[in-house]
Structure formats: C-alpha cells, structure tokens
Amino acid sequence: MNQPLTRFSQEWWSAYQTTWNEQENLGKKFTKLGKVILWFSDHQGVSVCSEWDDQGQIVSLELIEEMDESLPIFSATRENWERFVNQEIGAVKAVMTGLIDYRGSMTIIVKYGRHFDCLAEVAQKVN
C-alpha cells in the first residue's frame, strides 16, 4: 500500500503538477498565467516557482530557496497554506485578510483571482 505524500514536499509538488495537468476543464482558467511564486514565509514547506503555458498547463515547478522579486509572489505560513488547500478559506478572502500576502501586478488578481480556488480543489486529489 502506498504511503500518502507529505503535503508541500518535493514529491507532493511533482504529483500536484501531474494531477493539475490531467484536469481537462481547469487549464483554460489559467491560460497565459506565466510564472508565479508560491512561498512559505516560515520555511515549513518547499517553496516553488510555477510556470503555466498558453494552455493553462503547469510546464514546470521549480523548487526555490530565494524569491525573484520580479515575479508575482503569493506568500503565507504553512498553517495558512494548509487552510487554503483544505478549502477552509478561499483565495480572495485569504489575500484580502492578509492570510496570504500577494506581491505583484494587480492584473494577475483581476484576471485570475476568481479561479485560484481551483488550485485547492486539485490539491485535494493529490495522494
């Protein structure tokens, strides 16, 4: 029997990428998103730079130890990332209340903000 993956580990992120790319109906919501950083402000998880292609597929998830300030950055403690992934709080509310800090162009929030909850939905499918 397979052991469940440790959430936010290198293996979990790899499985997340595969699971996301298998979701036929979600990719279109993130077309042309480009690169986005998901950062653990308390360093209690593996931070990544995700790259989305023109079809809304994740083409790379690079493990990072330093932020590239030129990219959009979503930053939170592991506890708050867990709350988001467990769907205890939605993406918009998390950003508006400061549970997840966002730094970057407001265009990203306006264009894709309502779809970010899909990220948590897919996380529920990763084993």
| pTM exceeding the 0.85 threshold for the entire prediction | yes
Tens-place pLDDT, residues 32-57: 899 999 999 999 989 999 999 999 99
Give the start-to-end residue ranges of the domains of the chain.
10-123
Question: Does residue 1 carry a pLDDT above 60?
Answer: no
Separation of alpha carbons 58 and 42, rounded Å: 25
Tell me how far CA of residue 38 lies from CA of 2, 43, 48, 49, in angstroms: 27, 11, 5, 6
Q: Evaluate whether the domain defined by 10-123 bears CATH number 3.30.1050.10.
A: yes
Residues found in the chain: 127
How does residue 127 score in pLDDT terms, banded at 50, 70 and 90? confident
